[in-house]
Amino acid sequence: LGDQFYKEAIEHCRSYNSRLCAERSVRLPFLDSQTGVAQNNCYIWMEKRHRGPGLAPGQLYTYPARCWRKKRRLHPPEDSRLKLLEIKPEVDLPLKKDGFTSEGTTLEALLRGEGIEKKTDTKEEDTIQEIQRVLENDENADEVNEEEDLEEDIPKRKNRPRGRARGSGGGRRRNDAASQDDHDKPYVCDICGKRYKNRPGLSYHYAHTHLASEEGDEAREQETRSSPVHRNENHKPQKGPDGVIIPNNYCDFCLGGSSMNKKSGRPEELVSCSDCGRSGHPTCLQFTANMTEAVKTYQWQCIECKSCSLCGTSENDDQLLFCDDCDRGYHMYCLNPPVFEPPEGSWSCHLCRELLRERASAFAFQA
């Protein structure tokens, strides 16, 4: 290859990559239909205006730190209503025929240099806009208190008006379009009838639309039965004037206070999370006597906010080990020496082994 041709190829590749990255940044946040991963802004890219002078020897620049907060994971609910739509055999033949014709017309349009019909784009945009709206609501709910030093404007796509052309086709064309739409979006919600191309999209819709409405109905029913209402869903921690999290004065499990545990009917002191402020009775949390005493000596975290006590992160939560005496969390690969398999029975961290000695749960299990 000649040098000039090689330079042109590299230039075209560079321009294509820049356009691709720009398009991806505009579409954030979105749900990747190929991998099922919810792509979100990672905030790892800094701009020149964020640059500051170095503080330590050998540092050229420093950048402001950003508070990291673990986002709640969404597990698809095991519900029989979330099922794959069955495609009848007698519909397969016209679907395949229409698929071939649509592919042929699309290929011819591409070869002629014309634009592809906006029909498929409209269906794809409907799905993308629905998922984007859900993701943006989650992001706004989780990052209300995270707008500190860095501010990045994420362009939001405007909802385009959707309409139907009247008299553009007969009943057969509408039926074919409906059947093709059913084929493109096989995952259907039995409650409202909305269709999605993949299961993650349906799971987001089900969890954030129908489950939220059901929880709201249950909360309203509890409001009619008893005057104090405590809604645990979409919990936002409240901060005091000094920035310290204000703990809740009720248990998230039995909804009782420190004056009475509604399960046992006895007064019991509450244990509060230092990150989100949620509280619970030790008996409702199934704490042992050692745990109840140990959680008062450090900033305890609930299961939703739990992080490794050594590295301080909550990623790879499937690798977290919890001490049976103090409820601290540790990554198995952060321990010294590292642990490759979860130990059987009770396990105590090095702090509890030194403090409790023979009273530690690990020694009691071995005995």
Residue 134: what residue type? V
Q: Closest Cα to residue 69, out of 273, 275, 303, 286? A: 275
Which pLDDT score, from 0 to 100, does residue 11 have? 92
Strand partners, 84: 187
Q: If DSSP states are collapsed to H, E and C, what string results for the chain? A: CCHHHHHHHHHHHHHHHHHHHHHHHHHCCEECCCCCCEECCCCCCCCHHHCEECCCCCCCEECCCCCCCCCCCCCCCCCCCCCECCCCHHHHHHHHHHHHHHHHHHHHHHHHCCCCCHHHHHHHHHHHHHHHHHHHHHHHHHCCCCCCCCCCCCCCCCCCCCCCCCCCCCHHHHHHHHHHHHHHCCEECCCCCCEECCHHHHHHHHHHHHHHHHHHHHHHHHHHHCCCCCCCCCCCCEECCCCCEECCCCCCCCCCCCCCCCCCCCCCCCEECCCCCCEECCCCCCCCHHHHHHCCCCCCCCCCCCCECCCCCCCCHHHEEECCCCCCEEECCCCCCCCCCCCCCCCCCHHHHHHHHHHCHHHHHHC
Note the pLDDT tens digit of each residue in 217-261.
555 555 545 444 444 444 566 776 666 778 888 998 888 888 988
CB atoms within 10 A of CB 257: 19
Q: Comparing 263 with 88, which gets the higher pLDDT?
A: 263
236 close to 144: Cβ distance less than 8 angstroms: yes
For the chain, the first-to-last Cα distance in angstroms comes to 75
179 vs 119: CA distance, rounded Å: 14
- Tally the residues of the chain: 367
Tokens representing 137? 């609501």
Considering Cα of 142, then 146, then 152, then 153, what sign does the dihedral take?
A: positive
Tokens representing 159? 């909802």
Which pLDDT score, from 0 to 100, does residue 102 have? 47
CB atoms within 10 A of CB 213: 11
294 vs 356: CA distance, rounded Å: 11
Average pLDDT, the chain: 71
Q: Comparing 166 with 59, which gets the higher pLDDT?
A: 59
Note the pLDDT tens digit of each residue in 116-144.
444 455 556 666 666 666 666 655 555 54
Whole-angstrom Cα Rg for the chain:
28
Which pLDDT score, from 0 to 100, does residue 158 have? 40
Which pLDDT score, from 0 to 100, does residue 168 have? 41
Which pLDDT score, from 0 to 100, does residue 9 have? 92
Q: Comparing 161 with 184, which gets the higher pLDDT?
A: 184
Tokens representing 138? 């989650």
| Candidate ranges 64-78, 215-229, 291-305; pick with highest mean pLDDT | 291-305
Answering whether pTM is above 0.85, one says no
**pLDDT above 70 for 113:** no
309 vs 330: CA distance, rounded Å: 6
